[in-house]
């Protein structure tokens, strides 16, 4: 029993002796030039992200204004049409026309949003590819 206890404790001490120096070893700190280079890359990434957020917000506001203008135009057209005392068949045709216009407008806005998203995605991908090569160049600095 005592032998087992001594053997287990020796094993623990041996394992700790081997593990502690490896854990105490610190990673090599980058040189000031490398640190400045890596910081510049990080700043570029943040700037791109902020620009894309601002672009997306402006795009959304533009689409919102377009939608309000479209709705106002349809509302005015409807008011003008209703003042002319239309028949039921004319009302149905007018409603169908407005529905078709509304669907076309919504599809157009969806396509614009999708194109903007794809453009931002491509810009982000190109930036990350550029940053990969820049990071490699930074690591090569003395």
Chain segment 31-69, per-residue pLDDT in tens: 888 888 889 999 999 999 999 999 999 999 999 999 999
Chain segment 93-113, per-residue pLDDT in tens: 999 999 999 999 999 999 999
Whether residue 10 is predicted with pLDDT greater than 80 in this model: the reply is: no
Mean pLDDT (the chain) is: 87
Whether residue 138 is predicted with pLDDT greater than 70 in this model: the reply is: yes
pLDDT of residue 137: 87
Residue pair 56/120 in contact by the 8 Å Cβ criterion:
yes
Identify the band that residue 140 occupies on the pLDDT scale cut at 50, 70 and 90.
confident
Report residue 28 as tokens: 């090599």
The maximal CA–CA distance of the chain, rounded, in angstroms, is 108
C-alpha–C-alpha distance, residues 50 and 58, integer Å: 12
Measured N-to-C along each axis, helices 32-82 and 88-140 cross at an angle, to the nearest 10 degrees, of 180
Question: Could you tell me the pTM of the whole model?
Answer: 0.68
- pLDDT > 70: what percent of the chain? 82
Q: How many CB atoms lie within 10 A of CB 76?
A: 10
pLDDT of residue 28: 75
């Amino acid at each position: 029993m005592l032998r087992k206890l001594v053997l287990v404790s020796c094993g623990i001490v041996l394992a700790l002796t081997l593990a502690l120096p490896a854990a105490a070893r610190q990673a090599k700190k980058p040189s000031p030039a490398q640190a400045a280079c890596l910081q510049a890359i990080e700043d570029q990434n943040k700037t791109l992200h902020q620009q894309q957020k601002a672009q997306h917000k402006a795009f959304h506001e533009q689409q919102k204004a377009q939608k309000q203008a479209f709705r106002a135009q349809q509302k005015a057209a409807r008011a003008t049409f209703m003042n002319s005392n239309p028949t039921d068949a004319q009302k149905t045709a007018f409603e169908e026309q407005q529905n078709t216009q509304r669907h076309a407008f919504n599809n157009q806005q969806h396509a614009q949003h999708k194109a903007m998203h794809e453009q931002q995605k491509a810009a982000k991908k190109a930036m990350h590819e550029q940053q990969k090569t820049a990071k490699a160049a930074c690591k090569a600095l003395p």
